[in-house]
Copies of this chain bind each other. A is one copy, B any other.
Amino acid sequence: MQELLKSYPVVAKLPVIWGDMDSFQHVNNAIYFRYFESARIQYFEALGWMDIVDSLGVGPILGSTSCRYRIPLTYPDTVYAGAKITEMHEKRFTMEYLIVSEQHPETVAEGTGIVICYNYKKNQTTQIPEVVHQAIEKLEGRKF
């Protein structure tokens, strides 16, 4: 499990909630995007971005996302959702997500997210702020 998550600088630990199972008695498909979101928000916090959204006037917007389901989850279990950034463009970057669980210490699900930088004052997409770019490189331990 730790081997699988090794390349993910941020990992959110989340209990599987009984009420997140649907009438097929598995965790509902939409909940995996909640897991991805939790990892993504934790990643942005690790960058220090959430604290400067207001002063920068530039925040992240989710442009698209996907999930591939490999093993159904059931309560009780604990999920580990890893997030990493694998590609950087001028105005957007690509995140990859991986979910493993204590009951299933293998790839339970994997996903992607395209995050777009948005200037809330000008209401338009904008370049990734230099301070955010540098924080990502530091967190990922590589240059983009």
Contact = CB atoms under 8 A, between A and B. Distances in A.
Contact of A30 (B21, B23, B33): B33
Interface residues of A, number: 31
Contacts of A33: 29-30, 33
Majority secondary structure, A binding face: mixed
A64 to B, nearest CB: 4
Contacts of A21: 22-23
A34 B19 contact: yes
Interface of A: 13-15, 17-19, 21-23, 25, 28-31, 33-34, 37-38, 41, 45, 61-69, 75-76
Nearest 10 pairs of A and B residues by beta carbon = A66-B66, A30-B33, A64-B68, A21-B23, A23-B25, A18-B41, A30-B30, A30-B34, A29-B62, A19-B34
